[in-house]
Amino acid sequence: ACPINPRQRGFIWASGCSENLKLLQLVVKCAKWEHCELGVVFVDIAKAFNTICHQHIINSLSQRGVDPHIIQLVSDTYKNITTYLD
């Protein structure tokens, strides 16, 4: 329903870390060679779905054209959530 960006390395079977490091190394090398300024940003989204508003997730799925049945299934997982410790 939501296509994965080819640079995405989480949640897929791939040797992404080494591939992405090689890509970064190439970008830095090219910037040096061409005497270009380069800005690099690293984003750590650990627990991203733990900190984002659930309604925002539902709205985003709707905006992306995800099937309403799937949206309802996701929405239902966020209703009446409880945790029990034994």
User: Looking at residue 13, what DSSP letter applies?
Assistant: S
Q: What is the model's pTM?
A: 0.44
Q: Are residues 56 and 37 in the same domain?
A: no
Cα-based distances in Å from 78 to 36, 50, 52: 47, 11, 12
Q: Are residues 1 and 26 in the same domain?
A: yes
Q: Are residues 2 and 39 in the same domain?
A: yes
Helix ranges, the chain (H): 16-33, 48-51, 54-63, 68-77
Q: Are residues 31 and 54 in the same domain?
A: no
| pLDDT given for residue 11 in this prediction | 61
Q: Are residues 37 and 50 in the same domain?
A: no
| pLDDT given for residue 14 in this prediction | 61
- Write out the residue range of the structural domain in which residue 67 sits: 44-85
Q: Are residues 39 and 55 in the same domain?
A: no
Residue 9 has pLDDT above 70, yes or no: no
- The structural domain count of the chain equals 2
